[in-house]
Every structure is written in structure tokens, then in C-alpha cells.
Amino acid sequence: MKPARFDYVAPTTLGAAVEALAATNGDGKVLAGGQSLLPLLNFRMVRPSVIIDLNGIKELSFIEARSDRVVIGALTRHREIEQSSVIASKLPLMSAAMRHVAHLAIRNRGTIGGSLSHADPAAELPMLAVLYDATIVAEGTSGRRRIAAEEFFVDALTNSLAQDEIVVDVEFPIPQQDGWAFEEVARRFGDFALASLAVLVKRGASTLEQARVAAMGVGDTPLRLRTVEHEVAEMRIDDSLPNRFSELVMASVSPNSDLHASGEYRRQLLGALARRAIITALGAR
Amino acid sequence: MERKVTVTVNGTRHEIGNVEPRLLLSDFLRDTLGLTGTHVGCEHGVCGACTVLMNGDSVRSCLTLAVQADGAEITTVEGLGSPEQLNELQRQFREHHGLQCGFCTPGMLMTGEDLLRKYPLASDDEIREGLSGNLCRCTGYQNIVAAIRAAAALRQEKTP
């Protein structure tokens, strides 16, 4: 047996799951797709006394377009997001990014609520939540709470959920910007990114009217590069723009060195991805 | 807190009492049911050797609890074909020498089955991307890619 001993409950309603989690007084773990939790259990890096399995709560699995936003239930699998025609038409950048989320067998099980809660700083969905100004809706014993994505990711592998809270769904406002690009480099396709960058742009006749820029793999949380966004707003589109954009992006991050890459390499990599991304995003689409 | 697990594996229904919640599906298949075709490599979701189909989708059996498979239909490599009668993908692996030691093969086959159903696999890049979650330490992947390419081409012929 790889994991340490635990009790297992599989509630069929959200209310029962919240109660079961609250009853553990912080010693319980919520199991969604299990693609991050099971490795931690197998290594015995976490030893919860109780596992609360959400997979029987069918109401948590859906993708819905609601006027100005797309709402995704916490238990929706990565593979369902990858395949969704709603996501492809309303949030095409997300659709393109999903093929980079791990490998097929992981995407078949992994969920959006699980990925956001795990809060890996090099995972795609947390970065997309920050890019799209998503709202994460969580339920606890004292009711529902709406959390802005940038407030949700506190540190590497650390979110701002209370002990008794479970992510219920995630709201993605449909952006005004219609140009987009997603760029990522990983050592092996599907692995966690060494660096990745996503941009959404609104293009005027001769200027880049406004842009949203998010990066990952270069900080302890996914980053929204707001200083870059501010600097490039209304910038004239000419041959020098990609390099200027790339330099602004590089100046805005200070990645740490680790086993996989030095901080300076990551910064240079992000700069190269930024140049590529802004050219793609400004192209006819 | 042991639980009963009812699961259909390769078409055979099993009802097993006394399953500890912490038992992994990989160990359940191998130790409880004696189906040792599913291999266990890294046991944390990196190598892909333990991949099986659960309700038709490829999953890492080392990242799934046996109790979560309650009510599910599982297909393991034993369910694909037999030594006398290999299935199409297995035949292509033999034809193209897609295995040497065979350790990664069950995971490669189960992943291949799911990829063939879900993606066009029109280019080698797409095949390699699809296999990127499965590690092989002896063939260098070339022949595995060739086997899947051939299986994809055969599938193309069969579905006009």
C-alpha cells in the first residue's frame, strides 16, 4: 500500500461534502480528479485522516455560456474543456491551451476545480484564470464566496480557500479582446511548463489598443503582467513592437533558478515566447 | 473502513469485499484480481506503464483508488487480445517491433487505443504528442510511433 491509511466518504450532494470536510477540522482532503492528490498520497507527502471524494456530485460537472461569461463546474474534466464547442467559440485561447495540460490519461481524469485548488505555479488553468479575470466560487459551512483569481493564488501550491471550503464553479468573463496567442515551452510535451505566456489583444487601425498578459513558470503564482499591459496600451504597431513588448515582459519578471532551469534562462525564454505571442495575436484572426 | 467494490474487468464482473480505501486500482488489478498485465512503474503518474481504460477513457491506475472504480468497466491489456489472437494495435506493435523488454507495452497499448479513438493522428508530431505521457527506456520510440501510425492508417481505411 502506497498511501497511509485514511477513511473515505463519497457524498452525492455538495452540502454533504462541505459538512464532511468541515467535520475533519482541517485534517481532510477533497478528491476530485486525483491527478495531483494521488501522487502526494503515494509519496505520503500528505496524510489526511479522511478523503472526501467529489466524483459522485454530478451537479459540479458542466460548461455553460451565460450572456457575458462562461461558467465551468469544478468537477469538469480537462478533456471536456478541450473538446467543448462552447469553449472553442467563446474562449478560443483556453481551447488551444488545453492540449498542453498534461497527457490524455491525465486530462481524462483531472478537473478544473482540482487544478485551481492545487495552485501549481506552472499549470495552465491557474494562469488562464488570472488572464481572464475569472471568479472562483467556493462553498463552505457559512455559505458561498466569490474569489477573484488573483486573490485565489497566494503562493506556490497555496490557495486562499478556508479549511471548510470547496470550489464549486469558475466564471470566465468573455473578453473584449479578439486577438490571442498562447505559447509554452516544456521539457517534454504535456509536462509542467518551464515558461509560458498568454496574451489577449484588441487591435485598432494602427495601434495595439489594449492587451492582457499572463505568464507562468516564472513566479510562485501565475502572474498577470499589469505593468506591461499599461505600457503597451495604445502603442503604435510597427516592426519594433514585438521587441519592445518582449523587453517589457522580461523586465517585469524575476524568476528563480531551480533544478530544471536557471532564472536567467527562464527570463530569456519568456522574452522569446512574448515576441512570438504578440506577433501571432496581432495577426489577422 | 473497508468497502465492497463491484467492478467489471475485461467483461467479467467481480464483487470484492474488504477493499481498503487506500488500495490503488493498479494494485487491485494486479494483487487482488491477479491481472499482472498492467505494469507498475513510477507510481506517481509520470511513466504511464499502469494505464488502463476506465469506462472507455485511458486513466493512470496508480492515480485512481480501487474504491473509485466501483461500478466502472475496466479494460486492461489482457482484454485487448490473446497471444493466439492479437488485436489490431497489438499486431502492429509486433509487425513494427514496437517493443523490446515489454515493460512499457501495456501502457503504450492502452494509451494507443484511446488516442486512436479520440484524435486523427494525422502526423507523427501528433502521435508523439499523444505518447508523451508514456516512457519507454529501450526502443527509442521510433518503432512505437511506426506501429501507431500503421494502426491509424488501417483505421482510416476501415472508416471511409
Amino acid present at B92: Q
Q: Give residue-wise pLDDT tens across range B77-126.
A: 999 999 999 999 999 999 999 999 999 999 999 999 999 999 999 999 99
CB spacing of B45 vs A2 below 8 angstroms: no
Number of domains in chain B: 2
Closest-CA residue to B20 (of A269, A73, A51): A51
Closest-CA residue to A97 (of A73, A130, A71): A130
Cβ atoms of B40 and B62 within 8 Å: the answer is: yes
Chain A residues within an 8 Å CB radius of B27: 1-2
In the numeric block, the cell 511548463 is attached to A193
Q: What's the gap between Cα B31 and its chain centre?
A: 17
- What ranges do the domains of chain A cover? 7-53, 61-173, 180-282
What pLDDT does residue B157 have? 78
Q: How many CB atoms lie within 10 A of CB B58?
A: 30
Q: Give residue-wise pLDDT tens across range A53-95.
A: 999 999 999 999 999 999 999 999 999 999 999 999 999 999 9
Cell of B148: 501507431
Q: Helix (H, G, I), strand (E, B), or coil: what is residue A228?
A: helix
Partner A contacted by B117 (CB < 8 A): no
What pLDDT does residue B123 have? 96
Is residue B99 domain-shared with residue B65, that is, in the same domain? Answer: no
Cell of A29: 482532503
Chain B residues within an 8 Å CB radius of A8: 1, 3, 21, 65, 67
Cβ atoms of A57 and A11 within 8 Å: the answer is: yes
CATH topology of domain A180-282: Enolase-like; domain 1 (3.30.390)
Is residue B72 domain-shared with residue B99, that is, in the same domain? Answer: no
**What's the CATH number where B129 sits?**
1.10.150.120
Partner B contacted by A6 (CB < 8 A): yes
Select from A51, A79, A188 the Cβ nearest to the Cβ of B132. Answer: A188
Is residue B97 domain-shared with residue B153, that is, in the same domain? Answer: yes
Domain boundary among B79, B100, B133: B79
Is residue B24 domain-shared with residue B50, that is, in the same domain? Answer: yes
CATH topology of domain A7-53: 3.30.43
Pairing relationship of beta strands B57-60 and B51-54 according to DSSP bridges: antiparallel
Is residue B75 domain-shared with residue B93, that is, in the same domain? Answer: no
Nearest-angstrom CA–CA distance, A204 and A88:
24
- Give all strands (DSSP E) within chain B, no chain letters: 3-9, 12-19, 51-54, 57-60, 73-75
Nearest-angstrom CA–CA distance, A230 and A184:
23
Nearest-angstrom CA–CA distance, A211 and A234:
9
Nearest-angstrom CA–CA distance, A80 and A205:
37
CB spacing of A42 vs B3 below 8 angstroms: no
Expressed as residue numbers, the domain containing B107 is: 88-158
Share of chain A above pLDDT 90, in %: 93
Nearest-angstrom CA–CA distance, A79 and A44:
28
Is residue B98 domain-shared with residue B63, that is, in the same domain? Answer: no
Contacts of B19 (CB under 8 A, 6+ apart): B2, B3, B4, B5, B28, B32, B66, B67
Q: How many CB atoms lie within 10 A of CB A278?
A: 28
- Which of A87-96, A147-156, B127-136, B151-160 is least confident? B151-160
Mean pLDDT of A130-138: 98
pLDDT over threshold 90, residue A207: yes
Domain boundary among B79, B106, B130: B79
What pLDDT does residue A7 have? 97
Cell of A135: 471568479
Is residue B35 domain-shared with residue B93, that is, in the same domain? Answer: no
Q: The pTM is what? A: 0.95
Is residue B110 domain-shared with residue B74, that is, in the same domain? Answer: no
Select from A7, A38, A189 the Cβ nearest to the Cβ of B132. Answer: A189
Interface test with A, best of B58, B119, B126 (most A CBs within 10 A): B58
Is residue B125 domain-shared with residue B149, that is, in the same domain? Answer: yes
What is the dotted CATH code of the domain comprising A61-173?
A: 3.30.465.10
Predicted-complex ipTM score: 0.95
Which residues partner with B7 through β-bridges?
Answer: B14
Pairing relationship of beta strands A50-53 and A28-31 according to DSSP bridges: parallel
Cβ atoms of A190 and B129 within 8 Å: the answer is: yes
Hey, what's the torsion of the CAs at B62, B64, B66, B72, to 10 degrees? Answer: -120
Is residue B11 domain-shared with residue B64, that is, in the same domain? Answer: yes
Per-position DSSP letters for B117-137, written without gaps between them: HH----SHHHHHHHHTT---S
Length of chain B: 160
Cβ atoms of A116 and A33 within 8 Å: the answer is: no
Nearest-angstrom CA–CA distance, A88 and A84:
6
Cell of A129: 484564470
Interface test with A, best of B24, B50, B63, B125 (most A CBs within 10 A): B63
Cβ atoms of A215 and A122 within 8 Å: the answer is: no
Amino acid present at A277: A
Q: Give residue-wise pLDDT tens across range B5-18.
A: 999 999 999 999 99
pLDDT over threshold 90, residue B158: no
What pLDDT does residue A284 have? 54
Partner B contacted by A279 (CB < 8 A): no
**Minimal Cα distance from A109: which residue of B?**
B59
What pLDDT does residue B160 have? 54
Cβ atoms of A37 and B64 within 8 Å: the answer is: no
**What's the CATH number where B57 sits?**
3.10.20.30
Domain boundary among B79, B104, B131: B79
Chain B residues within an 8 Å CB radius of A38: 24, 44-45, 62-65
Chain A residues within an 8 Å CB radius of B22: 1-6, 41
How much is the CA Rg of chain A, to the nearest whole Å?
A: 19
Select from A42, A79, A189 the Cβ nearest to the Cβ of B62. Answer: A42
Partner B contacted by A49 (CB < 8 A): no
